[in-house]
Amino acid sequence: MNAQDITNKPGEHAIFMIFGLLSGREAADRVKELCAGFAAVPQSMRNRFPDSDVSCVMGFGAGAWGRLFPDRPRPKELEPFKEIKGAKHTAPSTPGDIFFHIRAKRLDVCHEMAAVFSSSLKGAVEHIDEVQGFRYFDGRAIIGFVDGTENPAAGDAFGFAAIGPEDGYFKGGSYAFVQKYIHDMEAWNALSVEEQEKAIGRRKYNDIELSDEEKPENAHNAVTNIADAEGRELKIVRANMAFANPSKNEFGTYFIGYAGTFGTTRKMLENMFVGDPVGNTDRLLDFSTAVTGTLFFVPTLDMLEEIGG
């Protein structure tokens, strides 16, 4: 089993690309051809730039999987993301057939891989979305708090991020869920540091978690802390990145979560947008608006090569 780079650190720079698959046999063949040679692209970049920490992930939406590989089984939880609508906040569902998550220490290296993939798919896909993310200071979200603190420890990450034997044909693959959040920085910055800390559930400067007595029930890290029926904590692997267009007054977070079961991610989202109990919604959503939401399946490199062939 040769997994894709689903547990790598977020990196210094990232490019996220989402495409729609065009109709026709020629378009499908072009995508399959890229699948077959996909692993060679980041490997070539590693050979050229060995210190750049290059990695890349390729995934497929539910519609594309059915069209590209109609004779193959479908991952158990791969389906179009269903909108989550609460009384105050909505997690929208947006289209996407093919997804790339490119990471490196250098933006030019990310750009080179993005250009190679886009050129390879020319005439087979249409552009839906692209975001260039960057490391903000010491790995903070653009709202000023350290991001990814709740990720599992490095030794446990793959167990949470990868599909296990329960869906054996797809073992080692992963469900990647992506959302683009836009932050109201004027309203956020109008809060005191103490109010911001209560919204997140952690200290802003040293990243220490608030005590149970200090932390409100609607703090971000309280509503996203979930467990199974036996009380075991359920986690996902996040590789979130900040992005911004200051001249447009656009400041955001590109959320990406890798998980062995999408049910874990969805439960976190339901807690955030609907609340458990209903109405106890994530305080952070009062300042952050989700504008996209798409689910992808990430095959192993071995499966990519096989389906490409």
pLDDT digits (tens, 9 = 90+) for 233-287: 999 999 999 999 999 999 999 999 999 999 999 999 999 999 999 999 999 999 9
Residue carrying the six token digits 């469900």: 175
Give the pLDDT confidence score for residue 151 in this predicted structure.
96
Catalytic annotation, pick one of 5, 97, 129, 147 = 147
Q: Indicate whether 270 belongs to any domain.
A: yes
Pairwise CA distance, residues 61 & 82, whole Å: 13
Percentage of the chain modeled with pLDDT above 70? 100
Average pLDDT over residues 154-160: 95
- In degrees and rounded to multiples of 5, residue 180 shows phi and psi of -105, 120
| Residue scoring higher pLDDT (228 or 272) | 272
Q: Indicate whether 188 belongs to any domain.
A: yes
**Residue 77, token pair as written in the block:** 């939880």
pTM (global) more than 0.85? yes
Give the pLDDT confidence score for residue 258 in this predicted structure.
98
Q: What is the mean pLDDT of the chain?
A: 97
Q: Which domain holds residue 162?
A: 13-308
Give the pLDDT confidence score for residue 301 in this predicted structure.
97
Average pLDDT over residues 134-156: 96
Give the pLDDT confidence score for residue 230 in this predicted structure.
86
Please count the structural domains in the chain. Answer: 1
**Banded pLDDT at 229 (limits 50, 70, 90):** confident
Give the pLDDT confidence score for residue 232 in this predicted structure.
86
Give the pLDDT confidence score for residue 1 in this predicted structure.
75
Give the pLDDT confidence score for residue 240 in this predicted structure.
98
Give the pLDDT confidence score for residue 306 in this predicted structure.
94
Q: Indicate whether 66 belongs to any domain.
A: yes
pLDDT in tens, 15-61: 999 999 999 999 999 999 999 999 999 999 999 999 999 999 999 99
Query: Sign of torsion, CA 64 66 69 70?
Result: negative
Percentage of the chain modeled with pLDDT above 90? 97
Give the pLDDT confidence score for residue 89 in this predicted structure.
98
**Banded pLDDT at 299 (limits 50, 70, 90):** very high
Closest CA to 106 of 238, 44, 15, 17: 15
Q: Indicate whether 1 belongs to any domain.
A: no
For residue 90, pLDDT over 80 is answered with yes
Is 147 one of the annotated active-site residues of the chain? yes
Q: Indicate whether 5 belongs to any domain.
A: no
Q: Indicate whether 56 belongs to any domain.
A: yes
